Amino acid sequence: MPLDPAVLEHAFPEFEFAVERGKIREFALALGLEDPVHFNVEAARAAGYADLLAPPTFTRQFWHENGENDPMPHLGYDPKRRLHGEQEFEYHKPLVAGTLLRGRNVIASTREKGGRRGGKMTFVVIETRFLDEGGEVVQVARRTLIETAAPPE
């Protein structure tokens, strides 16, 4: 199924979430991290952070709050031919417990490319900007989704 061009004009709603100590600890444990800045407030403060430090990819778990703010279900991609092609993060400032983050997803770019086995592949880059309470950028995350060419009939 080709990319639905209407999604390129769609304004996805902003979402918001509080960065909580318990979630930071859970995420750090799931990643197998041992640095006390993720678990112990005193250690985090001694390292120069205001509170527990979130692991680098912590915001990844909040991209799919609901179908309204996630572009992926709106792309029109066939789930059987959809691939996760690339992931990229830009870090602008440390993310610590107690921060109220606001995020918004946008379609940053699209392109088509010929596949090795014929047909075309469609690439879409979804960008999520995360801002703190003061409106400063904390993190920008990008994910590339690919719909492979349909198999020959």
- For residue 117, pLDDT beyond 90: no
6-23 pLDDT tens trace: 777 778 889 998 999 999
Q: Residues near 59 by Cβ (< 8 Å), separated by ≥ 6?
A: 95, 101, 103, 128, 130, 139, 141
Confidence of residue 36 (pLDDT cuts 50, 70, 90): very high
Q: How many domains does the chain have?
A: 1
Structural domain for 91, as ranges: 5-147
48-104 pLDDT tens trace: 999 999 999 999 876 656 677 788 777 878 888 888 899 999 999 999 999 999 999
Q: Is residue 152 part of a domain?
A: no
Type of residue found at 92: H
Strand pairing category for 82-91 and 100-114: unpaired
pLDDT at 28: 97
Question: CA of 52: how far to CAs of 21, 25, 62, 96, 140, in Å?
Answer: 6, 8, 18, 5, 20
Confidence of residue 34 (pLDDT cuts 50, 70, 90): very high
- For residue 153, pLDDT beyond 70: no
Mean pLDDT estimate for the chain: 88
- Please state the pTM of the whole predicted model: 0.84
CATH number of the structural domain spanning residue 18: 3.10.129.10
